[in-house]
Amino acid sequence: MGVMSNPVDRVADRGGDALLLIGRILIAVLFVRAGWGHISDLSGFATSLADMGLPASYFVAVIAACVALFGPICVILGLATRYAALLLALFTLAAALLAHRYWALPPQEQMGQSNNFFKNVAIVGGLLVLFVAGPGRFSIDHRGS
């Protein structure tokens, strides 16, 4: 990298791999919790998907729950990280558009769903940054290169 002229650049340069690991863990924890909940109650999750207008299919629920649980585990481990980050970004964008449709709610209910929608949009942004940056040195992906 180029000459680092300030302390912030030096911290990012020297600690980048550790910070990528911490970031991977922090973003993935959110998904692991939700994914575990979906896997633990697949029929309830399938019903909630149907309530959002998706097919009331147990198969769809299994696929979505697996993405929500195993995608972030891959992110934490740094295993197929770019694929997992991109898949989770698409999954999260779909969740925002399906589950947090604040614009279709009465005004008194819009604030909470609006916050959730834009939180998901921000998570998509973080996952896209991870997709571009890659997992860093502390990852299974790096060991294979």
What is the three-class DSSP state of 135? coil
CB 46 within 8 A of CB 56: yes
Give me the count of residues in the chain. 145
Mean pLDDT of 57-78: 94
Sign of CA dihedral 8, 11, 14, 16: negative
Does the pTM of the predicted model rise above 0.85?
yes
Lowest mean pLDDT among 6-10, 50-54, 73-77, 106-110: 50-54
Confidence of residue 122 (pLDDT cuts 50, 70, 90): very high
Categorize the per-residue pLDDT at 131 as very low, low, confident or very high, splitting at 50, 70 and 90: very high
User: Which residue from 139, 124, 140 is spatially nearest to 31, judged by alpha carbons?
Assistant: 124
What does the mean pLDDT of the chain come to?
A: 92
Residue 72, pLDDT > 90, answer yes
Start-to-end Cα distance in the chain: 20
Least confident of 56-60, 62-66, 86-90, 113-117: 56-60
Within a 10 A sphere around the Cβ of 87, how many other Cβ atoms?
18
In the chain, the percentage of residues whose pLDDT exceeds 70 is 95
pLDDT confidence of residue 56? 67
So what's the pLDDT on residue 119? 96
Q: Is the pLDDT of residue 50 over 60?
A: yes
d(CA 7, CA 19): 15
